[in-house]
Amino acid sequence: MDEDRKPKILIVEDEAVFRLIYRGVLESHNYKVFEADTGMAGLELAKTEHPDLILLDLILPDISGYEVLKKIKAHDLTCTIPVIVFSVMGTEENIEKAKELGADYYRVKGANSPSDILKEIERIIGS
Amino acid sequence: MARLLIVDDEAVILIQLKEYLRDMGYEVAGTAVSGEDAVEKARELNPDLILMDIYLAGKKLDGISASVRIKEEMNIPVIFMTAFGGDQVLERVKNVEPYGFVLKPFQNTELKAAIDVALIRKDMESRLRESEEKLRSVVNTANEAIITINNEKQIIFWNRAAQTCFGYAEQDAIGLPLVALFSEGDAKVLEPEVDRIIQTGVSTILGKSLEVSGRRKGDVFFPMECSLATWRMNRQVFLTIIGKDITERKKIDQMKSDFVSLVSHQLRTPLAGIMGCVDNMLWGLSGTLSFKQMEYLQVMKEISSRGYRIIANLLNISRLERGVISMDIRPVDLCYVARNAVQEHSAAIESKGVKLAVDFPDEEILVLADKDKLFEAISNVVHNASKFTDAGKISVRVFSDDSEGKIKISDTGPGIPPESMKYMFTRNQILSGNATYKGGCGLGLFISKQFMQLQKGDVDVQSRVGKGTAFTFRIPLAQAAEG
C-alpha cells in the first residue's frame, strides 16, 4: 500500500517493550506507526501528524495519560481523534476516569492480547 | 469489735451509756459533750458509728448540724438519740440520712438493735461502694468508649475513653442525644434501629460490629467501630454502645492496599510485556515457527497468564477488603457471558483430552449483573475445573427458573474432601492445602463468591471424592426484578 495512504496510529507509551509489540502488530497490518515515549512528545505528534487513532498509556514519565487525554480532547486539531487508553491498571476507577475524560475505549494490558487491540482499532477506523 | 463515739451534753448519761455499751460488747472509743467536740473527736478517732444527742446545750452546733459536717467530711454513720421527736426535728434529721433514730428513754435492747442494724447497713454500703468502684475502674480503664443511653436516646453514662474519643467531658456528655455522636448519614441509619431496640428489644444491628463515622466535639469526623447491646432494669430499656476510633487502623489498611496495588501494577507490566511478545511471535510476526518453538511459546504464554491471573486476584482481594469494588449492574445475557468464560478455557481443557460439553438454551437469559465481574466469577470456576480434571468431562449448563438464571459447571475431577469444603470459598482455602499444588493462590473461589454476592447472586458447591465436583451459580433475572 502507498505509504501516504496507510492509516496512522500514534502510540504514546514509555515502556519500550509495548511500543515494540504494538508497532509489530500494526505494521504487519499496514498501519503507519508513530511513537512517543512521553506525554508532551505524544501531544506534539498528535498535532503535527494528525493520526487516525491514538493508543495511550496512563503512566508516563512527564504528565499522566489522563492529562494527555484531556489536552487531546480539548485541542481543536486533535479533539476528533479516537483514543484507546491501554494500561496495566484495570480498576473501575481508572476506566471510569478515562471514559469521563473522553477516552473512546479502554483496554487492559495483559488481559487483552495485541490481536484484541488490533480488532478494536480495525473496528474504530473501519479499515 | 465496733468502735463507737458517744455525744451527749449530760455527763451522767455519758457515763451510763458507756457502761451499757461495754456490757453489750462494743468498744467506746470516746465521748463528746458538744457539736464542735463531736466533729473533732470523730476526726481524731474515726469511729465506726456515732451515737448523737440532738440537743447539745449552750453551744452553737447541735447534734444535727454536727452530723451534717461529719457526714460531709468523714462519712461516718450516725444514730440520733433524743427525747424530743417533734415534726420539725424529724424533718431536719431526715436530711442528714441518719442510720438510726432512738427516742429517749429507751431500753438497752432497743439501742443494741439500732446499733447492730446501723453497723450491718454500713458494712453493706461499703461493700456496694467497693464493687461499684471496681466496676468503675474497669469501665474507666477500658480503651473502648462505653456509653449508655436511656429510652429517650439521651446519654446517661459516659466513661473516660468516651471522653477521649468524642472530646466531651462527662458532665457535658450526660444528657446529650445519641445522634450527636454520629455523622448525619449514620445517625439517620442508626436512629430508627435504636428506636426499634427501645420499643421491641430486637434489631439486626444488635451484637454486630458496625463501622460508622463518629462525630467529635467541634464536628470533626472519624472512622469508628462500634457494637450495641441492650439491657433492662426496672422495666426500663437501656442501650450500651461500645466503640473505638479506628483512624489508625484505617490508615494502615490503606497503606497495605496501596502497597498491594502498587506492587501488582509493577508486576503486571513486565508480565504483560512478555505475554504481548509471545502473542506476536505465536501470531507469526517474527516469521515461521518450528513446532518446538511453538510449544515453548505456548508454555510461556500459559505460565505468564497464570502469573497475571494471580496478580489480578491479589488486587481483587485487596479491593474487596477495602470495599471499593463497584458493580455496574445492568441486564446482560447470561449465556453470552458464560459462553465467553468457557471459551477462555476451552483450548486448555481439550488439550488435556477432557471432553467439554456445553448445554446452552437458544434464547438469551437476561440477568441483572456486572458483565465483567460475572465473567470473572464464572471464569475462575471453569479455570479450576480445567486445572483439576485430567480425564472424563466438564459440563456447563445454563438454565433459569422463575426468578434466577443459573449455571451449573460439573467436572469428573478428584472431588473435594469434606474437611476442605468449609474452606472452599474463604480466603483460607490455601490452608486446606489442596489449592496450591496445581499452581494457584487459592483465591479464585473466594473472589467468585464475593463477586456473586455483590451482584445479589451466589455460587455453591457440591462434591464427592472420586466422583467430581459441581458448582452452581445463581443470579437474579432482569425480568423478575422488574416485576
Nearest residue, CB atoms, A91 vs list B276, B280, B319: B319
Regions of chain B short of the pLDDT cut 50: 431, 435-436, 481-483
Task: Check CB contact under 8 Å for B276 and A109.
Answer: yes
B346-378 burial, b at 16+ Cβ within 10 Å, e below that, comes to: bebbeeeebebeeebeeeebbbbbbbbbbbbbb
Task: Check CB contact under 8 Å for A18 and B319.
Answer: no
pLDDT tens across the length of chain A (127 residues): 667 788 999 999 999 999 999 999 999 999 999 999 999 999 999 999 999 999 999 889 999 999 999 999 999 999 999 999 988 877 777 888 888 888 888 888 877 888 888 988 999 887 5
d(CA B479, nearest CA chain A) in Å = 26
Mention every residue, 6+ apart, whose C-beta is less than 8 A from residue B123.
none
Spatial separation of the C-alpha atoms in residues B472 and B380, rounded to whole Å: 13
Residues of A in contact with B276 (CB under 8 A): 17-18, 21-22, 109-110, 113-114
Task: Check CB contact under 8 Å for B279 and A115.
Answer: yes
13-42 in A: which are within 8 Å (CB) of B? 15, 17-18, 20-22, 24-25, 28
Task: Provide the pLDDT for residue B481.
Answer: 46
Task: Provide the pLDDT for residue B435.
Answer: 47
Q: Order the strands of the B220-233 sheet from edge to edge.
A: B155-158, B145-149, B236-245, B220-233, B210-216
Task: Provide the pLDDT for residue B480.
Answer: 58
Nearest residue, CB atoms, A88 vs list B265, B286, B326: B265
Task: Provide the pLDDT for residue A39.
Answer: 94
Q: Chain A within 8 Å of B269 (Cβ-Cβ)?
A: yes
Nearest residue, CB atoms, A21 vs list B269, B277, B312: B277
d(CA A76, nearest CA chain B) in Å = 33
Residues of A in contact with B326 (CB under 8 A): 92
Q: Chain B within 8 Å of A58 (Cβ-Cβ)?
A: no
SS3 A123: helix
What is the model's pTM? 0.59
SS3 A71: helix
Mention every residue, 6+ apart, whose C-beta is less than 8 A from residue B258.
none
Residues of B in contact with A113 (CB under 8 A): 275-276, 279
Residues of A in contact with B280 (CB under 8 A): 21, 24-25, 114
95-114 in A: which are within 8 Å (CB) of B? 109-111, 113-114
Q: Which of B257, B263, B277 to mutate to test the interface with A (most CBs of A within 10 A)?
A: B277
Spatial separation of the C-alpha atoms in residues B291 and B483, rounded to whole Å: 57
305-324 in B: which are within 8 Å (CB) of A? 308, 312, 315, 319, 324
Q: Chain A within 8 Å of B276 (Cβ-Cβ)?
A: yes
Spatial separation of the C-alpha atoms in residues B153 and B86, rounded to whole Å: 45
Q: Provide the grid cell at B402.
A: 422463575
Q: Are strands B78-82 and B100-103 parallel, antiparallel or unpaired?
A: parallel
Q: Chain A within 8 Å of B330 (Cβ-Cβ)?
A: no
Cα A81 to its chain centre, rounded Å, is 10
pLDDT tens-digit series, residues B340-385: 899 888 888 988 899 999 999 989 999 999 988 999 999 999 998 9
Task: Provide the pLDDT for residue B61.
Answer: 82
Q: Chain A within 8 Å of B258 (Cβ-Cβ)?
A: no
Task: Check CB contact under 8 Å for B272 and A28.
Answer: no
Residues of A in contact with B268 (CB under 8 A): 88, 109-110
